[in-house]
Each structure stands twice: as structure tokens, then as C-alpha cells.
A and B are shown apart, each in its own frame.
Chain A
Amino acid sequence: MNAALIIDTAYFVAAFLFIYGLKRMSSPVTARSGIVVAGWGMVVAVVASFLYTLDVNEAARPHLATNILLAAVALGLGLGWAWWSGRRVAMTAMPQMVALYNGMGGGAAAAIAAIELYGYKTHGMVVLTLAVLGGLIGSVSLSGSLIAWAKLDGRINKTLRMPGLQAINGLFLLATAGLGVWIIANGGKIGHLEITVFFVLALLYGVMMTMPIGGADMPVVISLYNAFTGLAVGFEGYVINNPALMIAGMVVGSAGTLLTLLMAKAMNRSVSNVLFSNFGAAGDQQQGEIAGSMKPVDAGDAGINMRYASKVIIAPGYGLAVAQAQHKLYEFVKILEAADVEVKFAIHPVAGRMPGHMNVLLAEAGVPYDIIHDMEDINGEFKEADVAIVIGANDTVNPAARTNKSSPIYGMPILNVDLAKQVYVVKRGQGKGYSGVENELFFADNTNMVYGDAQKVLVAMIQAVKSLDGGGH
């Protein structure tokens, strides 16, 4: 047995485990074991990779000891930091963390491309083209993901918008791509300066492309960069003749593309619309006056009313998670269920910060997934519900999306909470939602506003219902 055979076998096993693991991850019942299966694939591939040291090229031989030391330190640092940060990140901050890890992968793919180009190691048109392409996509994914992370993490609050920005970005991309073609046309025999400029331009383009995109659209963008990184990894896999990278990269590239399209569809937007339009920029002028007024109600009264309802549907949004009120909410739900109230959760596809994020946040609080329903499944049930309660959600329940053609969110699918007999909206203040659009629901006749921090409101509801039942039981 020689090293090459062991390495190739290990990669075959890893590729199998990745695909099998992803397959298991696509059902809630087997998902937990899926990631473990894929994890073993990674372990097998990384361990086998140390056999590379037995067969290095002539030029690198004198540096082998240094290189192995560097590799061990880099692996240890990267692994240690990521493990530590991944363990302690809050579930609400998960989307930006995924963006960060994804950007790192893009950076690693770009690094492989950089070594190949700076070292003049690639020969042949096809290999060179894929090296350059992977380097470009990987770099864009790295810097773009970093901006996405900074925005979702609240480190960048400005959304850069100015007339002609798209044209400038277009020129940027053109210049970067042009330089890439120049590198390929010269067979890669080109100065280090030009190669450096190429990577710098690619990184800058990632920044410029992501800066104008608003926070609400960020999940789609993160998913897109996830697909980008996959593609870059696949291309670089071809460049260094590594089938594990080729297969894993391409599987993620296509899976990520499909996931991006599904997410964009759930928000009723096209991907190009997300990337190239200034959503919400002109939102304020397009609205007419809304008739009616907002009617506040006491939290305890609302709680007691729900105790005597027969069916309650809860529409949670990101505001619930920001207030860290998921646990209190589930406590309240259990009290209602004990009083024979039928309680269901209605989840909008983009509730939370990305599709499925709200499910994760509710799962963290221990809410069983079979009382949580997708929008399509539950939208027909609102008209039978006695009470619909909206907590920390806004744009996803705005009936203007159904009725008002001039509204910027017109056409977006929404939860039909306004059809319930009584609607309660738990909200911190009178502000607008992420899109900056006024919400007609708040002014409707059957809506009452419960102002306050979600956690405090729920505590008040729990106490009101408990003091009601307290004497009898």
C-alpha cells in the first residue's frame, strides 16, 4: 500500500459520507445523525491528508519541517477558535456566524488559487481558467460574507446607497474579470503585482456588492455566498486534482443555489432583485393615510381572553428572539394547553433572520416541532381562530402585501392573522418594520396593541391567567 492509494480511498469515503450525511440532514427525524456522518467524512479526509508529507515536490522538500509545523499551528488555531466561537454563539446570532464561517471557506479557496498563481504552478488553459475563476469567486465570497456578518451583527449600520452605484460596481467587476482574462491569456506568466491587484479588486468587489443590500435581504445573500464558496472549492479541487474538493464543492454549489432560489421565492423576490435593487429606498412616499387608530390593551386582559379561547395561533417574529422571550412564550403556551386551548405556531418563511431560523429559536425553547406550522399549511386556519397573537413580527403580517398595490411589500406572501376574530400585537413601540412600511394591521378594528417588552408582556399574561386559575386548582 502506498500513500496515494490511502489518500484516494479516504477521499472516496469522505465524498460518500458527505452526500449520505446531507441526505440524512434533509429530514427532521434523521437530521441530527446526518451532521455526525458528514463530520466523520471530514475527519477521515483531514487525517489522510497528512500523508501528503510523504510525497512532496522537489522544491518544497527543504521546507517540509517548517511547512508541517505551520500546518499544525494553523489547523490548531483555526479549529480551536471556531470550536470555541461556535459553542458560545447565541442562537439568535446564528445567521451571521454561518456567514463568517462561510467567508473563511471562500478565503481558503482563494488562498489555494493565490498559491497556484503566485508560484506559476498551473499549466494549461482550462486549469488556469478555473484557478482564476475560483480565486475570484472565493475572494468575493470572503469579503462579501464579512460585510454580511458585520451588518447582521450590528457592526455596520449604514446601508450604502447612491445613484450610479450599480454602474460603478459593474465597472469594478469588469475590471476584475478583465484582469483575470489577461492572466489567463498570458498563460499565468505575469508579474506578482498584477496578480495582487487582481485579488485586491476581487475582494473590493465583494465589499461593494454587499454594502447596498439591506439587512432583511441578507439571508438570501449569505445563502448565495454559501453557493459561491462551494463553486470556488470545486474549481480549486480541479486545479489541484483533488476529487473530494471537486465533489463536495459542486454538491454545495448546486444545493446552495437551489436553497438561495427557495429563500428568494419565500420572500417573493428574485435573486437579481435582491442584489441590484434599492429596496425600501422610496417606501415612505408611496403610502396613503391609514384610517382608524391603534387601540392599546392591557397584557393581563389579553392573556385572560386567550385562556377562554378555544383556538389560538401565535405568529412569532425576530422581535421575540431579541427579547429572549421564547421560553416565557412556551411556558404561556403550556398553561393555555393545560386549559384545553388549542395552540399552534404559524411560521412565515422568513421569520427570524433566515428561513427556518425561527424554528431553531423555538426548538431551543423546547417547543415541539409538530405544533409549529408553515405558512401554507396554516394560513387557511386563521379564520377559525379566536385569537391570533403577533409577537415581534411586523412586515410578515401586514395585509397591505395583499391589498395595497402601491406598497413596496405588495405581493409578498403573508400570514393572514387579520382574519382571526381577535388579533393581539405585542410590540415595543409604535415604530415601523424592517422594510420601513406602516402596518395596516395595527389600525384594524379587530386588532389591539399590547405595548411592552415581549418578555415582560408574557410574564404579565402568565401571572394574570395563573391568578385566575390559582384558587380553583
Chain B
Amino acid sequence: MEYTTTLLTGFVALYIFMLAAFTGFEIIGRVPSILHTPLMSGSNFVHGIVVVGALWALVNASTPLEQAIGFFGVLLGAGNAAGGYVVTERMLDMFKPSDKKKT
């Protein structure tokens, strides 16, 4: 049987949005303030997923204008994802408790 992608329209989309919004709220709710900066950076990385959408738009581009915008979309999205990852990892790398002796 051929698989086809389900269209996420109307209420299905609304449910997804609602549950995702609560998920985000719950995850951040009890975070100690020492992690606010890395977490902001980490969530910044997560919306770098936009690069995937930009890739889709570029692959399906059919005019020079669309190709140009798509190119910049992918460029910017890739920067968001890669940059967000690198700075978050660098920050989190530094958090160490005092019993772990540094070499």
C-alpha cells in the first residue's frame, strides 16, 4: 500500500499547536536562572529546524526569484541551526560541579 503524507489542517493543526505550546511552557517552567542563557540559546537552536522548510521551498522553486529567496532562506536557516548548536554546546560544556577536579 502506498503511504501518503497526512495533511495537517484545521483542528488537527490546532491540537498540535496547543499541545506544543503547553510542552514548551512546562519545560521552561522550573528552570534555575543559571541556565537561562544556555536555554535561550538552546531553544534558539531548535527553531533552526526552519532550514528544513527552507530546503523544501528551494527544491520546489521554479522561478529565478524563488530560487534567490530560497537560497537566502536555506543560508540563514543553516546559520541559525549550526550557530545555535555551537554556542549552546560551548556554554553547557563549562558547567561543572566543584567535586569534579579539573585537569
Which residues does A use to contact B, with CB under 8 Å? 1-2, 4-5, 7-8, 14, 18-19, 21-23, 25-28, 31-32, 34-36, 38-39, 42, 45-46, 49-50, 52-53, 56-57, 59-60, 63-64, 66-68, 70-71, 73-75, 77-79, 81-83, 85-87, 89, 91, 94-95, 97-98, 100-102, 104-105, 107-109, 111-112, 114-116, 118-119, 126, 222-223, 226, 229-230, 233-234, 236-238, 240-256, 258-259, 262-263, 266, 347, 349, 352, 354-357, 359-360, 363-364, 366, 368-372, 374
Contact = CB atoms under 8 A, between A and B. Distances in A.
B87 A98 contact: yes
A87 B35 contact: no
A86 B60 CA distance: 31
Most chain B CB atoms below 10 A, which of A101, A112, A119, A238: A101
B79 A253 contact: no
12 contacts: A35-B88, A42-B49, A66-B67, A75-B51, A75-B78, A83-B82, A94-B41, A94-B87, A111-B57, A229-B44, A251-B27, A374-B32
A433 to B, nearest CB: 21
B97 A354 contact: no
Contacts of B77: 78, 104-105, 108
Nearest to B77: A108
Interface of B: 2-5, 7-10, 13, 16-17, 20-25, 27-63, 65-67, 69-99, 102
Given A60-B61, A68-B59, A242-B53, A251 B20 contact: yes
Nearest to A53: B59
A4 B5 contact: yes
A94 B83 CA distance: 11
A44 to B, nearest CB: 10
A35 B25 contact: no
B58 A74 contact: yes
Given A86-B87, A94-B91, A246-B17, A349 B52 contact: no
Contacts of B24: 22, 250-256, 258
Contacts of B13: 238, 246
Contacts of A252: 24, 43-44, 46-47
7 A-B pairs with the lowest CB-CB distances in the bound complex, closest first: A78-B78, A368-B98, A111-B73, A86-B86, A82-B83, A108-B77, A254-B24
A38 B95 contact: no
A4 B4 contact: yes
B95 A31 contact: yes
Given A101-B84, A119-B66, A222-B40, A28 B49 contact: no
A63 B61 contact: yes
A22 B47 CA distance: 12
Contacts of A241: 5, 7-8
A170 B8 CA distance: 35
Contacts of B74: 70-71, 74-75, 78, 108
Contacts of B28: 26, 255, 258-259, 262
A107 B81 contact: no
A60 B33 contact: no
Nearest to A31: B92
B33 A108 contact: no
B56 to A, nearest CB: 5
B79 to A, nearest CB: 4
Contacts of B81: 42, 46, 79, 82
B82 A49 contact: no
Where chain B touches its partner, the secondary structure class is helix
Given A91-B91, A355-B33, A370-B97, 15 more contacts: A1-B3, A32-B89, A82-B82, A87-B86, A94-B41, A94-B91, A95-B37, A98-B44, A108-B76, A116-B57, A229-B47, A241-B7, A249-B50, A252-B46, A369-B96
Contacts of A32: 89, 92-93, 95
B38 A108 contact: no
B5 A8 contact: yes
Given A26-B27, A78-B78, A98-B41, A35 B85 contact: yes
Contacts of A1: 3
A100 B85 CA distance: 13
A249 B49 contact: yes
Nearest to A33: B92
Contacts of A35: 38, 42, 45, 85, 88-89, 92
A67 B29 CA distance: 42
Nearest to B12: A243
Nearest to A52: B59
Nearest to B89: A35
A127 B55 CA distance: 19
B63 to A, nearest CB: 7
B87 A115 contact: no
B33 A233 contact: no
B61 to A, nearest CB: 6
A108 B50 contact: yes
A104 B53 contact: no
B17 A234 contact: yes
